[in-house]
Chain A
């Protein structure tokens, strides 16, 4: 029989702890495929966040550092400055990156730090049990917005990709989703580009990936994919916001 589909070498052969239907697993796979295809596993160092993907260091076959909540861009900066010829990436949730770690991501981006950021936006705090995130949609119910997010008291969901695109230094910024095979293919291309930007020494790259949290959204996996499509994509439009000439 011809083998047509295998596990990427950079993805460890272990079971993950993610909930059934959670798209963190798909995103891990896309990152591992990009690392494999670029042939950079032996010089890649990952930085794991605090959040559902806190154990990401167990799931990739590359050296890893685990950062404090929100600090992954600063940790990645330290690694990259110490080892400029290595490929350094962070993998962060929206609570991690867009709330507690806002300063770190804005300034790493603004310095044009040559790192790749995989930013997983699932519009909620997954790990701590479904509290409101800075990305929670208007009216969306969470355990700490039981009546739905009231933008008059807690503000509007933050569009990170657009916000960081206003900065001069970042080279590549895109938003993708993993709710359908077609979108997963696009997500793959964006993630690979984000690594290529670093490889070509072009500086800062970030891919915002719209992801699901069936558990805390209280939806079955397929319904969650549909909810993402119908509710998240209209507010968080997909596309490339900044593209350097070299990888256009």
Chain B
């Protein structure tokens, strides 16, 4: 580990990508993630990499497709409206099974919305915003240090599963400054990519990067194979953190930035004698459903706290499967809930006064 540096989330992410061996980055500016392209515009040339400001998010994600297909570690980033434009490319990249990392430092929506932090792209990230049966692996850091750690992990997962991996942050995480340490710099051995289009010297079968399959049976076979891959990821890559959940009567579920606020609220509730705990999914897909289901054996109620109008709560309900009441508290429009508000919701839930 390096010495601790004080860095903005967006910049730390850029540095982590470089340390993970990413040498190509294509993006289009949008608040609140522009520090990331700005940082990489400076850094990429220093490490012999490519920074290219694309003409649009549509172009950027397709540049990612090309570079990923050519075997490179490649990344793009944006915020909500720009991520919507990347959905076409994401569907193609997932279909063609190319590894890449896509960052969403999300902001309020729908539409042009606001530039304030929000988590209202949860559905889009976890349920597939583009067409077709596909999945992204979605990682949700809650601190600048975790931004670094999960960015490096994201590149490894992308290569392991030949699939796009999304880092789902929000404007707050991108903008906040915290001390971070980077793993000791080492020469990274990137995995071989024999399927990449690098020029056919007749020493292997001709490589074609493609998502077209006109024969229904073969397309179904392709889809089945993708689903098996997603099932493997769902079994192996679930990540989450529990805080004071062992004896919790009420479990607050929250991810990313808002999980930090929920954690303060849990502590405040404990001080009041309420047995509260925090369940923080780190992978939004695959969702840590089994761990939540297990908590439903002991906890009496769940409260999903989000910066949106109620999206992850659907996955909490699915996991809890009717065993316990699941309450929701959310703020939208770029408003960040306060610990006091969350504490009040915990108290309401404990008293069973909240509507499910």
Contacts and interface: CB of A to CB of B under 8 A. Distances in A.
Interface stretch (B121-129, B202-210, B284-292, B343-351): B202-210
Interface residues of A, number: 34
B198 A68 contact: no
A57 interface: yes
Contact of B71 (A61, A71, A82): A82
A40 to B, nearest CB: 9
B interface residue count range (under 10 / 10 to 19 / 20 to 34 / 35 or more)? 35 or more
Given A79-B66, A81-B67, A42 B210 contact: no
Given A68-B92, A78-B63, A86 B56 contact: no
Contacts of A103: 55-56, 58-59
B191 interface: no
A75 B62 contact: yes
A42 B54 contact: no
A166 B72 CA distance: 33
B92 A47 contact: no
Contacts of B208: 57-58, 63-66
A47 B65 CA distance: 11
Interface string A68-81: 10010011111111
Contacts of A54: 212
Contact of B69 (A42, A55, A61, A65): A65
B89 interface: yes
Interface in B215-263: none
A42 B204 CA distance: 12
B62 A68 contact: yes
A106 B56 CA distance: 12
A63 B198 contact: yes
Interface in A159-196: none
Contacts of A81: 24, 50, 52, 63, 66-67
B117 to A, nearest CB: 29
B300 interface: no
B66 A42 contact: no
Contacts of B198: 45, 63, 83, 86
A67 B64 CA distance: 12
B70 interface: yes
A204 B218 CA distance: 38
16 contacts: A44-B199, A63-B200, A63-B207, A64-B207, A65-B209, A66-B208, A67-B66, A68-B88, A77-B66, A82-B72, A83-B198, A86-B198, A103-B58, A104-B62, A107-B55, A107-B59
Q: Across chains A and B, which 4 residue pairs bring their CB atoms closest together, nearest first?
A: A78-B66, A74-B62, A78-B67, A63-B197
Given A66-B208, A77-B52, 9 more contacts: A44-B199, A63-B200, A64-B209, A65-B210, A71-B89, A74-B65, A78-B63, A79-B67, A86-B199
